[in-house]
Structure 1
């Protein structure tokens, strides 16, 4: 069982099996079911969701409870802590996003005309989800849909560029990148702004498709993770860290400590930075939370890919 930091007592409520469809003739996830536990979860909002090996875990700090889901990846907890979005895969390699309501024990698949969409990202008010989607031109784009399955749109659908790692700048704008440029779209798909990433953060960083850029609530700073030139003995591949860019003075400050590799970062709508990282020998990932001033606490001593709800 995952051990939460000393301020949290971890009690596992139950494990939930997510059974993905193995049929290649049906859309993946069509036959998938998640049987939530029979314990009432009313008024027990969860505060954090993360990956722990082959399962995802949602944790409520206030109630000191946990619930886990086997066979799912890409956990994304809703801002109110009541819902969990996750990715399911089938035997053909198709991926889709499902949303579980942890209070009334319902679940449903986001109805998108694609066999490959994943990595949900909730809007701050919890009314919509952005995600990456593979389109008919074999390009990665940003999809956005309301949680009642209305209002689906694929942003920038006509261009011939890949757009990765969507995040919400605010309730009406979504950010993504193509490894070299940072794009801002409105919810109709109109391109509002384009910036060279190297002009923003400098040329000493390397950007991968999994790296994300988050605007702070007031829009004055960017939180991101990126590859750097650190040489970490025992680490296979480039080192990554979490940084904060002040857009006014263009100064970049490191948040995660030296000697740590951080492949994943998430910013809540109330400006708390969650990230997962490993230290030498780089085999054990922990989850941390930091404020914008760099005050860091360990949250979970075994896990990765965290997302947080609002306080």
Structure 2
């Protein structure tokens, strides 16, 4: 179940089947960022002056034009599904996918397609792709035993994902067109998990990712993760997030803005930051995690 409310309005409604947008008009509200705040999702303008929140939903993904929001809903028996809300006309609906465990939507840069993780009937994680109008669902590379974690768009016609050891590139027909060893790309100093993400820069010359380097931060129970950028030609890896910050969530827009959430000691509050490819960082949200951004 999800509950959606709007800032400045205390009315709310509930529905057992889907999230319900409130009746406040959202015209002329330019949403630029979506993120998790506890058990709710917040969609906001970049200056945080205009917001709408979704209770009970996870995995926020704002569309490139800022008009739609994808999110995951979980039912009482643990099934997950992706829903799309139109932030302007208040319509929303469940993606028409043949499965009961799919989550983590990501939009193509043109907003025409949505990719997500889906569990197939061979108990392998795959990439699902569907058109933004909720038609034409396909599962990429559906018959192989390759796991595909953390799908993200390399460009409008190619999607990348990994299985912890290798970084794969698929085209939209589902063909595996490239395989690269992750250690061959970034070296042996980093620990990759299924929740880590990889993004190519717009020109394809850099790879942005988050991972652990084994560092244990005082007061943090898990191994610290950080955001890094790889120059593919030189094979040089440089940190983006500051030392001492635990950064488990990363998203990179198609125009090369790096959004991530991070916690500083005592690791009880997560903030959201945006950085460029040169490592210039700005705090954009004082409390939140798992950010995604629209295009400028």
Any idea what the Cα deviations from partners look like across 1:78-129, whole Å, max 9, x if unmatched? Answer: 0000000000010010000000000000001100000000000000011110
Residues 196 and 210, structure 2, Cα contact 8 Å, conserved in 1: yes
Distance 1:193 1:18, change over 3 A: farther
Any idea what the Cα deviations from partners look like across 1:7-43, whole Å, max 9, x if unmatched? Answer: xxxx92447968574xxxxxxxxx22x2222222123
Residues 110 and 147, structure 1, Cα contact 8 Å, conserved in 2: no
Q: Does 1:61 align with 2:61?
A: no
User: Counterpart of 1:198?
Assistant: 183
Q: Does 1:239 align with 2:234?
A: no
Distance 1:241 1:97, change over 3 A: same
User: Counterpart of 2:3?
Assistant: none
Task: State the TM-score, normalizing by the size of structure 2.
Answer: 0.95
User: Counterpart of 1:184?
Assistant: 169
Aligned-partner Cα distance in 2 for 1:17–1:292: 41
Segments of structure 2 that go 5 or more residues without pairing to the other structure are: 1-5
> Number of matched residues?
291
Aligned-partner Cα distance in 2 for 1:16–1:215: 42
Aligned-partner Cα distance in 1 for 2:232–2:202: 13
Aligned-partner Cα distance in 2 for 1:15–1:153: 40
Q: Does 1:40 align with 2:25?
A: yes
Task: Report 1:204-219 matches (<5 A).
Answer: 204-219=189-204
Any idea what the Cα deviations from partners look like across 1:136-157, whole Å, max 9, x if unmatched? Answer: 0111111110011222111111
Pick the aligned partner of 1:12 from 3, 7, 13: 7
Residues 141 and 176, structure 2, Cα contact 8 Å, conserved in 1: yes
Aligned-partner Cα distance in 1 for 2:291–2:180: 27
Output the aligned Cα RMSD: 1.6
Pick the aligned partner of 2:153 from 168, 176, 190: 168
Aligned-partner Cα distance in 2 for 1:17–1:114: 30
Q: Does 1:134 align with 2:119?
A: yes
Distance 1:15 1:290, change over 3 A: farther
Residues 133 and 143, structure 1, Cα contact 8 Å, conserved in 2: yes
Task: State the TM-score, normalizing by the size of structure 1.
Answer: 0.90
Distance 1:17 1:136, change over 3 A: farther
Distance 1:132 1:15, change over 3 A: farther
Secondary structure of the 1:86 match is: strand
Aligned-partner Cα distance in 2 for 1:109–1:165: 21
Segments of structure 1 that go 5 or more residues without pairing to the other structure are: 1-10, 22-30
Aligned-partner Cα distance in 2 for 1:181–1:14: 48
User: Counterpart of 1:74?
Assistant: 59
Distance 1:100 1:16, change over 3 A: farther
Secondary structure of the 1:198 match is: helix
User: Counterpart of 2:205?
Assistant: 220
Residues 16 and 69, structure 1, Cα contact 8 Å, conserved in 2: no
Distance 1:158 1:16, change over 3 A: farther
